[in-house]
Amino acid sequence: MNADECMETIKLTSRGGDSFELPYAAARLAHVVRDANDENDDGDIDSPEDVEILKVNSPCLEKVVEFLKHYHEEALTEIKTPLEDNTFEGNVKQEWYQNFLKGIDQPMLFDLVTAANFMAIQPLLDLTCLKVSCQLMGKSAEEIRQILNIPKLTPEEEETARRDHRWIFDD
Amino acid sequence: MPPHPKKPKLNSPITTAFAATAAEAEVEVAADRIAEQPHSNADDGIIEDLLEDSTDNDPTINGMSNSLTARILGFLGYKDIMRSRICCRKFRDAARTTIVPWADGENYDSLVRETKFRVNNVRKYKAMVVMATALPNLQQIRLYYDFGNGHKYRDGKDPDEEKAASTADWTAYEIFLISKFSKLRSLEIIRSSLNGRYPVLFNYPLLQKLEIKYCSHLKWDLNALTGLPSLKELNVDTSDSLTGNIKSLRVLKDTLEKVYIRNCEIKGDFMELADFPRLKSLALYYCFLITGDVREIGENDFPVLESLMLGEGAISSTRHQFQRISDVPSAAGAIYRLNRRDPTFIRSLDNFCWSLSRDSPEWYANNGKAGHPHPPFQISFVRAGSRVGWRWKDLTLRLCRSTSTNTCEINWLDPEPDRESNDYDVYTRELQSIQEDVFCFEGYHQPPTEEEYKRLCQEYYDI
């Protein structure tokens, strides 16, 4: 059977043991799901089976499944680099995807980046990385540290960085 | 839920078709995924180990792998990346593998993120030194005007002696470090102080665009392009120390899309490029040593060419000066045939401004009498309705497109339109208008001989 037309649903199970059901055709955007189902290069599979995603916690997996389901209905337009705009909304024009990351906190955003990478969901990885990138644009190092909750450099590192840095920006 | 749901097989190489700008990013990320799972001959125990992985409990940038961080930085321009890297070691490490996006010239101006690094003073040169290790995957560099008096790039091999002597006490900067930007895709060198040969500038496996303009002492040969096997666009202007034969471009047959060389003393026949499958634009302006003959272009040559501009040395190029009157009919026929080809690179016949060369044995001067026509040694295409032809005309006005009052008869390239066709009325009307230009050279389809010219002048004007 061709996996793309597969109407069956499967469950993805989180580290916390919660299961989320979705059509296999939507789930297979995650390469980790394809591989677990031994989908070959021609996209043929037998009967799709459930997959445990032990590296991802429940709230995050729920969000991932929401993404997968929607992506199957409306794919994310490819994000072109270099970016054309200074804002996330200016680079991602589709309303659903804008809203998908609206209001989520920083730990959840990083969880999603890591989950997208682990599950090998390229569009979700692009989208979440872009969201983080947009937080960095035009910001000073101090602002970035606050946004990302980053500990300070050691004084020596700071000094080296400042020295390197000076040449780049004062024009 | 079935009793034993499947667990992902961690040892299977997961193909992550990341749409990164460079293939290296994919390799990088894939390698990193594997690196995260060190004992990749998975059994269930490994998964338990992974759960203990500290990264799971650190949902901050520090929990990110190096390649994921590089990916985040990879949406930014070089300035944002360099600014971010001050924040923490994580960003500093990631910047070393971040592939800075790049943009080609056409959409560059609309971008808000800087992708092209411009080196135009000592300060920027020092920034380049830092970036050579901090951000080596920068993809676009422009060296231009560099330093001004007192500072220069270190002379290359075999420099211009006079220039080298006059700048001997200047502070010299090493250009060699530019080779650290091994993923360069676009390199522009404009009005630079480079003096001599610098093989280091011609060794980039991924370079797609090379621009060298107004660098009179930068010595290079077209055969250096072998070091740039991905080159799509070559843009050279007034590079006085450029040598070589256009034949050297043949190593780039399958990649070149745009070739623009202006005012350089390169040699060879432009037909060497006729079988380039992707060549869309070929311009060899003011390259007088370039030869070739447009008449030789066959139906299958230059398959995707959209624009062709050749210097006067190539026969039937837009401003060619013919040596023989008898060459013109075949040239006009060839241009017309190419104009009708689809896709065509000769979009307008009006651009052609041919003439008989003063060096031609068939050329003669005008009779010097005021009010008399010049000999009709200029050629232009004409149109009546949809019917196209060409004719010789006099040089009185010296402007190709202006109406001349003394022309020879039209040499038609199309048959006369059918009397029944819709076009016929327009054709007759326009024909009448252009025929009015035929006066003393009536009956002549090509220029008269000098004797005939003098006689015609006498008959028509000395009354």
Contact A36 B103 (CB under 8 A): no
Kindly indicate the confidence band of residue A164, based on its pLDDT and cuts at 50, 70 and 90: low
CB-based contacts of A85-91 (< 8 A; 24+ apart in sequence): A85/B112, A86/A134, A86/A137, A86/A138, A86/B112, A87/A134, A88/A130, A88/A131, A88/A134, A91/A130, A91/A134
- Distance, CA of B419 to chain centre: 47
Q: What's residue B396's pLDDT?
A: 58
Full-model pTM: 0.79
Cβ contacts of A30 within 8 Å, gap of 6 or more: A64, A68, A119, A120, A121
Q: What is the average per-residue pLDDT within A3-24?
A: 89
User: Residue for token digits 């490490």?
Assistant: B93
User: Is B109 within the bounds of a domain?
Assistant: no
Residues from chain A that touch B43, judged by Cβ atoms under 8 A, are none
Residue B38 has pLDDT above 70, yes or no: no
Nearest beta carbon to residue A35 from set B8, B61, B102 = B8
Give CA angle at B181 (B177, B185), nearest 5°. Answer: 135
Minimal Cα–Cα distance from A66 to chain B, Å?
20
Between B281 and B26, where is the model more confident? B281
Q: What percent of chain B has pLDDT over 70?
A: 83
Minimal Cα–Cα distance from A64 to chain B, Å?
16
Contact B92 A161 (CB under 8 A): yes
Nearest beta carbon to residue B83 from set A107, A141, A153 = A141
Nearest CA in chain A to B102: A82
Q: What's residue B19's pLDDT?
A: 31
Say which range, A15-24, A63-72, A150-159, B196-205, has the weakest mean pLDDT: A150-159
Three-class SS of B212-238: EECCCCEEEEHHHHHHCCCCCEEEEEC
Minimal Cα–Cα distance from A83 to chain B, Å?
7
Kindly indicate the confidence band of residue B48, based on its pLDDT and cuts at 50, 70 and 90: very low
B430, with CB counted inside 10 A (0-12, 13-18, 19+), is: middle
Nearest CA in chain B to A86: B112
pLDDT, chain B, mean: 83
Residue A46 has pLDDT above 90, yes or no: no
Query: Per residue in B442-451, pLDDT tens?
Result: 899 999 999 9
Residue pairs between chains A and B whose CB atoms are closer than 8 Å: 182
| Separation between Cα atoms, residue A19 and residue A128, nearest integer Å | 23
Residues from chain B that touch A78, judged by Cβ atoms under 8 A, are 19
User: Which segments of A7-154 does DSSP mark as H helices, in order?
Assistant: 24-27, 31-36, 58-73, 88-91, 95-100, 106-118, 122-136, 141-148
Contact A53 B77 (CB under 8 A): no
Contact B80 A53 (CB under 8 A): no
Contact B83 A110 (CB under 8 A): no
Could you tell me which CATH class the domain A3-137 is placed in? alpha beta
| Separation between Cα atoms, residue B353 and residue B361, nearest integer Å | 20
Q: Residue B61's CB: how many other CB atoms inside 10 A?
A: 25
Contact A148 B87 (CB under 8 A): yes
| Separation between Cα atoms, residue A168 and residue B20, nearest integer Å | 26
| Separation between Cα atoms, residue B251 and residue B397, nearest integer Å | 46
Q: What's residue A110's pLDDT?
A: 92
Minimal Cα–Cα distance from B187 to chain A, Å?
17
Kindly indicate the confidence band of residue A157, based on its pLDDT and cuts at 50, 70 and 90: confident
| Separation between Cα atoms, residue B132 and residue B126, nearest integer Å | 10
Last residue in a domain, options B45, B76, B107: B76
Residue B354 has pLDDT above 60, yes or no: yes
Between B235 and B396, where is the model more confident? B235
Contact B82 A165 (CB under 8 A): yes
Q: What's residue B46's pLDDT?
A: 38
Query: Per residue in B200-223, pLDDT tens?
Result: 999 999 999 999 999 999 999 999
User: Is B64 within the bounds of a domain?
Assistant: yes
Nearest CA in chain A to B122: A167
User: Is B432 within the bounds of a domain?
Assistant: yes
Query: Per residue in B393-441, pLDDT tens?
Result: 886 554 444 444 688 999 999 999 988 888 899 999 999 988 888 888 8
Contact A83 B101 (CB under 8 A): yes
User: Is B129 within the bounds of a domain?
Assistant: no
Q: What is the average per-residue pLDDT within B267-271?
A: 95
Residue B385 CA: distances (Å) to CA of A144, B388, B430, B432: 68, 8, 7, 11
Contact A51 B88 (CB under 8 A): no
Beta strand B151-153 with B116-119: parallel, antiparallel or unpaired? unpaired
Q: What's residue B421's pLDDT?
A: 86
Between B65 and B232, where is the model more confident? B232
Q: Which residues of B148-179 are buried (b: 16+ CB within 10 A; e: fewer)?
A: eeebbbbbbeebbeebbeebeebeebebeebe
Q: Are B253 and B274 in contact (CB under 8 A)?
A: no
Query: Per residue in B121-131, pLDDT tens?
Result: 888 898 899 89
User: Is B300 within the bounds of a domain?
Assistant: no
Query: Per residue in A94-151, pLDDT tens?
Result: 999 999 999 899 899 999 999 999 999 999 999 999 999 999 888 888 888 888 888 7
Nearest beta carbon to residue A36 from set B9, B19, B82 = B9
Contact A36 B111 (CB under 8 A): no
Nearest beta carbon to residue A136 from set B56, B60, B80 = B80
Residue B147 CA: distances (Å) to CA of B8, B173, B270: 57, 10, 37
Last residue in a domain, options B61, B76, B91: B76
Q: What's residue B47's pLDDT?
A: 38
Residue B135 has pLDDT above 70, yes or no: yes
Kindly indicate the confidence band of residue B106, based on its pLDDT and cuts at 50, 70 and 90: low
Last residue in a domain, options B58, B76, B94: B76
Contact A137 B76 (CB under 8 A): yes
Residue B58 has pLDDT above 70, yes or no: no
User: Is B112 within the bounds of a domain?
Assistant: no
Minimal Cα–Cα distance from A19 to chain B, Å?
8
Nearest CA in chain B to A16: B51
Residues from chain B that touch A58, judged by Cβ atoms under 8 A, are none
Residue B13 has pLDDT above 70, yes or no: no
Minimal Cα–Cα distance from B224 to chain A, Å?
30
Angle between helices A106-118 and B66-73 (to 10 degrees): 110
Q: What is the average per-residue pLDDT within B288-309?
A: 91
Contact B6 A37 (CB under 8 A): yes
Structural domains of chain B, count: 2
User: What one-character DSSP code corresponds to residue B303?
Assistant: T
Q: What's residue B109's pLDDT?
A: 53
User: Is B138 within the bounds of a domain?
Assistant: no
- Distance, CA of A80 to chain centre: 16
Find the domain containing B371 and state its range.
Answer: 364-463
User: Is B163 within the bounds of a domain?
Assistant: no
Minimal CA–CA distance to B455: which of B394, B367, B368? B367
Contact B88 A136 (CB under 8 A): no
Tokens of B115: 């992708």
**Segments making up each domain of chain A, as ranges:** 3-137
